[in-house]
Amino acid sequence: MSTSRISLTRLTDKKCVPCNLKELRPMNEDSARTLMPQVPEWNLVNDAGIMKLRRSWTVKTFSKGLNFFKIVAGLAESEGHHPDLHLVGWNNVVIEIWTHAIGGLTENDFILAAKIDKLDVVDLLRRKPSD
């Protein structure tokens, strides 16, 4: 899918497309920024020239972090699009999403990020202190 055909349809209503399409190209930063409002908790990062989406969570325990990954893995399998999962320390979960096959971001990455944001994982997360 070329970046010129990115639709403004809600990302959670879409399905990831196969990464083997010959027309699939990494989007430019401007195109990525147009989709960022739909995944406001994620950060757009440039990692050695590769644009990625990155988000972190603090989980209650190490085992809750593994449970978090199981839930994300189920979603990733259903979408046919797989993020990089990192458990840092004993309770910090970091997910990076990018399309490995083309070395950059596609709409698939934003679709997956938006769907991850909708997962019911609140019972696994450490609560933020009240202000």
Q: Report residue 126's pLDDT band, with 50, 70 and 90 as the boundaries.
A: very high
Q: Can you point out the beta strands (E) in 1-131?
A: 43-47, 50-58, 84-88, 92-97
Helix (H, G, I), strand (E, B) or coil at 59: strand
Say if residues 39 and 97 touch (Cβ distance below 8 Å): no
This prediction's pTM: 0.83
Domains of the chain listed by start with CATH number: 3-8+21-124 (3.30.1360.20)
Q: Tell me the pLDDT tens digit for each residue of 27-74.
A: 899 999 999 999 999 999 999 999 999 999 999 999 999 999 999 999
Say if residues 64 and 122 touch (Cβ distance below 8 Å): no
Looking at residue 3, what is its pLDDT?
A: 41
Among 100, 97, 103, CA closest to 115: 97
**Cα separation of 17 and 110, whole Å?**
12
Two structure tokens written together for 91: 């309770």
